[in-house]
Amino acid sequence: MKPNTQQLNDLTTQVRRDILRMVHAVNSGHPGGSLGCTEFLVALYQVLMDRKEGFDMDGKDEDIFVLSNGHISPVFYSVLARSGYFPVSELATFRHINSRLQGHPTTHEGLPGIRIASGSLGQGMSVALGAAQSKKLNGDNHIIYSLHGDGELQEGQNWEAIMYASAYKVDNIIATIDVNGKQIDGPTDEVLPMGSLNAKFTAFGWDVVEILLGNNIEAIIKGMTEAKERTGKGRPVCVLLHTEMGNGVDYMMHTHAWHGKAPNDEQLQLAFAQNAITLGDY
């Protein structure tokens, strides 16, 4: 049974608390993008993806998610734990030596839910396309979902993959771009302007869906459902998800400053006060 909107919003708040607690504990990590993508990943794993019980690396007969911008691992780990992939208590080991929860997701620790090592920006699109073509070759009609940062698209490898996807009609992929307009060095329009991503993906032969309210659970589910309906029709699908970096914590929003900066003790308590509901902190 799928959770209702209130349950999804409550879980989103709890995931935000997890993110803040994780990066604060080790004074390291990337809260900004993690907080901005919280609603998306909660909706993806709780409602949108077709998931089977247990975990295996092959991912046969289920949808697969590829996280390309691996630095937002705090939100990924929290959502995986709270979706049953591993114990929530393990979140307390984030970025510890010999932990399975490294700063960027890796595979050799054998953490359930992690299928690729990511964090070297620009590579996830190629990996996702390979997985999508593998699904087709195996007669598996499930979808590959992927997530990429907008600043990440400044990496050239993305555009080779984007061109390849339409040329070979890889139509079982939904690549979501986190359009928050910010990256580690400042606004994307100041670091390296990319113009209209909608126009670019359309020109490269993709079908594009825009979700303007990218931090609203209902809008995400509606937009992603529309994207899913467009798969299987000969063109890859791109979702432009407009989010706010640091969403849910007022002093982290509207700035790139919290891309890779952990809150201190006082800031953590202020953030917790803004996200007061708890389903059970680890």
pLDDT, one tens digit per residue, over 154-190 is: 999 999 999 999 999 999 999 999 999 999 999 999 9
Q: What is the value of pTM for the model shown? A: 0.97
In the chain, % of residues over pLDDT 70: 100
What is residue 59's predicted lDDT score, i.e. its pLDDT?
A: 96
Per DSSP bridges, beta strands 144-149 and 173-179 are: parallel
What is residue 281's predicted lDDT score, i.e. its pLDDT?
A: 82
118-161 pLDDT tens trace: 989 999 999 999 999 999 999 999 999 999 999 999 999 999 99
Residue-range domains of the chain with CATH = 5-274 (3.40.50.970)
Q: 28-31 — which CB contacts under 8 Å span 24+ positions?
A: 28/95, 28/103, 28/262, 29/73, 29/74, 29/94, 29/95, 29/103, 29/260, 29/262, 30/71, 30/72, 30/73, 30/74, 30/259, 30/260, 31/74, 31/246, 31/249, 31/252, 31/258, 31/261, 31/262, 31/263
Which of 28-32, 198-202, 277-281 is predicted least confidently? 277-281
